[in-house]
Structure 1
Amino acid sequence: MSFGLIPAALLIGLILGLFGAGGGMLTVPALMMVGDMSVKEAVPMSLWVVSLVSLTAAIHQQVWKQLQYRLLIILGATGIAGSASGARIGAGMSESLQLAILAILILTVAVWTGFVRLENKVSTFRYIPAVLAGFAIGLLTGMLGVGGGFLLVPALIFLGIGHFPTAVGHSLMIIIANAAGGIISYSTVESVHIDIGLTLSVALIAAVGSIIGGILLKRLPAARLQKGFAILLIFLGGFIAWQSLSVT
């Protein structure tokens, strides 16, 4: 494993544990730039890393104490279906198109997140929007190789979870389900090969970062977390947009 992947993996886990998002968005470019992989190699490996790290963060944060299980089941089930379909679509897309779509989505969500007001409460969600949101996010998860957290957290806020740490907890659980759907679908693609040793090494280091992020999540105010999340997305979106232009 490249030495540069060690701090990158720590940062991936830290951001995932703190925001319930960003892991996949960081993992793909990190594997490409530091690990010298192509998008086609980085995307399926990213799904493995993100799922394992999200599981670690969820256990550490004891998210089962704050979950709305009806919402979780709906988003999880539709997310798995969407992720499996998205993985097959993503396998046939060009690398530059995958990155361009990802950059546009990230920047759009960053603007929305920066302006929405958190009500610091959890209210009843709406079923039909939850079904549509779950499938759409799962589709993008499989297609773009991201955990979906950067879409899940804003979606959860929109669906009625205005408490940021609670939205993060739900996001972690749904990321695990969505990534699992993508992993299963990619396992049927003969051209996709994953370095198991490297994947586990990156995931283990990132898991340590996720525990640190979980500790910070409990100590920082929601307003700062929200602003930090929006700023993170702006930087990531700009970087990936630049990356999409450099891919031939």
Structure 2
Amino acid sequence: MQLYLPIAEVAVNLYLLLGLGTLVGMLSGMFGVGGGFLITPLLFFMGIPPAVAVATGANQIVASSISAVLAHLKRRTVDLRMGTVLLIGGLIGAGLGVYVFNLLREMGQVDLLVRLCYVVFLGVIGALMFVESLRALMQSKRGAPPRRRHHGWVHGLPFKMRFRTSGLYISAIPPLMVGVSVGLLAAIMGVGGGFIMVPAMIYLLGMPTKVVIGTSLFQIIFVTAFTTLLHATTMYTVDMVLALALIVGGVVGAQLGAVIGAKLRAEQLRILLALLVLGVCGKLALELLLTPSELYLIDAPGVG
């Protein structure tokens, strides 16, 4: 069944969109990521213009993240205080990111920038996560005791706060900076930023994995909602027909993902996420390197 998208000006398969939304929703529940790092590139592959994919993908992330965070709140694995600090930084970053995105779009360079950002960020983060997760998995199989957390430069910074749910007493500056970075990514790449935030919260801030997932989702909800609003009111690139189809699948998938994620060990969750990130990165890199099927494309005004 073909569905015409008025803003994107293309026709796509409705069942494919519903399946895509369900898959991304499952990722939200399992890994604590919004799923934008997967949904936005997949929308590229389906022929959706990057500007529309970025703005509308953020819309779907809001719905799937709300559905997933409700499941985590029931298990009390959301650090609301940490989430609030991350959120403040995220809103600042989102505002800056939308300004940069619109500036580059006027220059006609946004499509290439978005794709290059995905390849670089996904490649680096995926590789680091895979190596660390594989090492942790091998240590757990050998029965080796987990390494103790060492106090690094993060613990020496001022403006310390106590985050009881995470069991931390650290400076508010690193979470704030992580939030700003994620907000920038949300605006420029159409992602919730979970694939950056989850590793940062585990390895930089030292948060427990079970608390990281729910806290990440809490922050993602508000940052992506703010980003969607800015895109919709400044460049009019949010396709509500596309967003609705993705949201329906995403809400269902998020509940399934939360159940599956609760049954897996932390090391298994991290290595699965790393493999997924590297897979999407490889596909995008291949598309940038290969000669496109159409060397010339006539772009509709206000969409490209």
Same fold (TM over 0.5): yes
Are the aligned partners of 2:44 and 2:50 in contact in 1 as well (CA < 8 Å)?
A: yes
Change (3 A) 1:206 1:114: same
Counterpart for residue 160 of structure 1: 205
Q: In structure 1, which of residues 196, 199, 216 is the aligned counterpart of residue 243 of structure 2?
A: 199
Q: Report the Cα distance in structure 1 between the residues aligned to 2:148 and 2:73, rounded to whole angstroms.
A: 19
Counterpart for residue 126 of structure 2: 110
Alignment RMSD, CA only? 2.3
Paired letter, 2:177: L
Counterpart for residue 113 of structure 2: 97
Structure 1 segment 41-190 matched on structure 2, within 5 A: 41-62=52-73, 65-91=76-102, 92=104, 93-116=109-132, 122-124=166-168, 125-190=170-235
Work out the number of aligned pairs and report it: 246
Higher helix share: 1
Change (3 A) 1:236 1:10: same
Change (3 A) 1:167 1:198: same
Q: Which moved more, 1:166-175 or 1:179-188?
A: 179-188
Report the CA distance between 1:147 and its aligned residue: 0.9
Change (3 A) 1:189 1:245: farther
Paired letter, 2:101: G
Paired letter, 1:210: A
Give a deviation string over 1:120-144, Cα, whole Å, max 9, x none. 9944143221221111121121111
Are the aligned partners of 2:79 and 2:214 in contact in 1 as well (CA < 8 Å)?
A: no
Are the aligned partners of 1:142 and 1:181 in contact in 2 as well (CA < 8 Å)?
A: no
Counterpart for residue 217 of structure 1: 261
SS in 2 for 1:188: helix
Report the CA distance between 1:97 and its aligned residue: 1.6
Gaps of 5+ in 2: 4-12, 137-145, 150-165, 296-304
% identical equivalent positions? 24
- What is the TM-score when the length of structure 1 is the normalising length? 0.90
Are the aligned partners of 2:21 and 2:245 in contact in 1 as well (CA < 8 Å)?
A: no
Counterpart for residue 26 of structure 1: 38
Q: Which moved more, 1:238-247 or 1:195-204?
A: 238-247
Counterpart for residue 230 of structure 1: 274
Q: Report the Cα distance in structure 2 between the residues aligned to 1:99 and 1:15, rounded to whole angstroms.
A: 21
Paired letter, 1:132: M
Change (3 A) 1:119 1:211: farther
SS in 2 for 1:147: coil
Are the aligned partners of 1:126 and 1:159 in contact in 2 as well (CA < 8 Å)?
A: no
Q: Report the Cα distance in structure 1 between the residues aligned to 2:217 and 2:254, rounded to whole angstroms.
A: 11
Are the aligned partners of 1:79 and 1:137 in contact in 2 as well (CA < 8 Å)?
A: yes
1:38 aligns with 2:49: yes
Q: Report the Cα distance in structure 2 between the residues aligned to 1:70 and 1:217, rounded to whole angstroms.
A: 23
Q: Report the Cα distance in structure 2 between the residues aligned to 1:32 and 1:72, rounded to whole angstroms.
A: 31
- What is the TM-score when the length of structure 2 is the normalising length? 0.74
